[in-house]
Amino acid sequence: MLTALTGVHGDRADAVTVAGRTASYEELLGAARQVAADLAESGVPAFAVTATPTLETVAAVVGALLAGVPCVPLPPDAGPAERGHILRDSGARPIEVDFARRSDRTPDPATAAARTPDDPALILYTSGTTGAPKGVVLSSAAITADLDALAEAWQWSAEDTLVHGLPLFHVHGLVLGVLGALRTGSRLVHTGRPTPEAYAAAGGSLYFGVPTVWSRIARQPQAAAALSGARLLVSGSAALPAPVFRDIERASGHRIVERYGMTETLITVSGRAGGDLHPGTVGTPLPGISTRIAAEDGAEIGELQLTGPTLFSGYLGRPEATAAAYTEDGWFRTGDIAAVDEKDGVHRIVGRASTDLIKSGGYRIGAGEIENALLDHPRVREAAVVGVPDADLGQRIVAFVVAEGVSGAELTDFVAAHLSVHKRPREVRFVEAVPRNAMGKPQKRLLLDGAAPDPT
Ligand code: MCA
Ligand code: AMP
């Protein structure tokens, strides 16, 4: 998986920059080998990495891959509930990582990565509609298949400088944004935070962002114009609004390539470099991926289902949830509603089957997880959480609660502290009761219909 670290592209003094610190391949490999040796000595079954945007995180992940120990990245701001759940569920343990400590001893990266292509490489925690996040087990075979398919689709090579500032505990920032650079041999500049100013200053050829990042760049035309010298701009993790696509094109001359994926499937559908790109479309399946639309008789839209070599190995320790994610004939059920153009096979994602999965700032957030966190507060008697359209975040988390003697800001802070900051409700509304159907299930449509429109 880590082709660049085998020296095929030579070394490079500025191979990887993270939040202003730069390392060569040799330095990264030395630090990662030390991590691999420490992991082997510690005997931990899985490696919990607090995924701050730092060189230490990159060395930790690479070290785990070299050692063949599954890596479990943790959101750096995860509170005790979220962190505790992930550590308990995965059995992962942290070990200390010091980028200044280097080893020149094997394991050799090429052979160590190739030895166990179907073994778990990464376990990424992601929210479902109910309950606590599940561990998505990804093999090196799946990751490598995805990165090679993307390299072909985007003509991504060692000539590129990849720029992004996305979190290192999800597929977008970690698999594409770090391992992708180490496989293709492109230089990597991680900006620490994905701000318009940092993207504009980075001088890259290939840029990754979630729609919120592109929409913030679009609102600063000077920053967007600074990207005109790039080769390719790519958006994913949530739907890119058409006005943002057009504003970026106007300011930078680039039509953003949109691609679609999930933690469980990696990236499966994408526009192509040099292809015909249109707002609201996510391109065609990557090589090796098959898709189908499970539509009611005669309908053109329905659930997107897919198969291919990039799919996960299952939810950690949850065979029933894994089985439920597939149809009887073995296709993965994405839960996304899509349409496919009959003539050119271009896919459009038109919505989600469940209102209980929220996409905010490109983060996938389960309503049930937030509701459970709110119900842990002693003052909260009922809670129902929904995603409301938001010009900046795509959707913003709105919590309807029945509670007394506590403020909305206190409840927001409570969720931010127990889970993680991006899971906090942006708005808390106090209601007399949560409307429920005869079965006692919250009627979220009623809450959504009553929610005020996006003030921006
Ligand atoms: C505010 N803050 C608080 C509170 N309120 N802190 C604690 N308690 C509170 N109550 C602070 C935060 O600490 C932070 O401070 C600041 O407010 C902003 O918070 P945040 O919500 O994080 O920032 P944002 O500006 O709203 O974030 C927008 C973003 C972010 C940068 C676009 O949403 C983001 O990074 N999204 C990327 C998600 C992603 O990568 N998804 C990929 C998964 P400070 O600024 O000091 O830190 S999807 C995927 O992997 C699939 C496969 C795919 O298709 O890609
Ligand atoms: P996650 O597991 O966090 O990667 O979230 C996966 C979900 O993100 C998918 O099921 C989609 O709902 C959404 N998603 C990812 N990329 C796109 C896209 N280009 N357009 C619309 N939705 C997207």
- If you measure from the C-alpha of residue 221 to the centroid of ligand 2, how many angstroms do you get, rounded to a whole number? 26
Q: What is the pLDDT of residue 114?
A: 43
Contact 380, 401 (CB under 8 A): yes
CA 89 to ligand 2 centroid distance, Å? 24
Q: Residue 337: CB within 6 Å of ligand 2?
A: no
Q: Where are the alpha helices (DSSP H) in 177-241?
A: 180-184, 196-202, 211-218, 221-225
Instruction: Label residue 55 left, alpha or beta by phi (over 0 means left) and psi (-120 to 50 means alpha).
Output: alpha
Say what the pLDDT of residue 129 is: 86
Q: Which CATH number fits domain 357-449: 3.30.300.30, 3.40.50.970, 3.40.50.300, 3.90.1640.10?
A: 3.30.300.30
Distance 78 CA to ligand 1 centre (A): 12
Interaxial angle between packed helices 408-418 and 80-90, expressed in degrees from 0 to 180 and rounded to the nearest 10: 30
At residue 113, the pLDDT reads 45
Q: How far is the CA of 167 from the centre of ligand 1 (A)?
A: 8
Ligand 2 atom with minimal separation from the 357 CA:
12
User: Under CATH, what is the fold of the domain 3-260?
Assistant: Rossmann fold (3.40.50)
Across the beta sheet with 302-307, the strand order is 290-294, 302-307, 332-340, 347-352
CA neighbor of 256 nearest in space, from 219, 218, 304, 289: 218
pTM for the model: 0.95
Which of the ligands is closest to the CA of residue 257?
Answer: 2
**pLDDT by residue (tens digit) across 201-226?**
999 999 999 999 999 999 999 999 99
Residue to substitute in 237, 266, 332, 333 for testing ligand 2 pocket (most ligand atoms within 8 angstroms of CB):
237
pLDDT of residue 440: 87
Mapped onto helix, strand or coil, the DSSP state of residue 280 is coil
Contact 233, 252 (CB under 8 A): yes
Domain spans of the chain, in order of start: 3-260, 357-449
Low-confidence ranges of the chain (pLDDT < 70): 107-115, 451-456
Per-residue pLDDT at 107? 64
- What's the pLDDT score for residue 445? 86
Q: What is the pLDDT of residue 456?
A: 47
Amino acid at 403: A
Which numbered atom of ligand 1 lies nearest the CA of 175?
50
400 φ, ψ (degrees, to nearest 5)? -100, 120
For the chain, state the CA radius of gyration: 22
Tokens of 348: 């459009």
**What is the reported pLDDT for 111?**
45
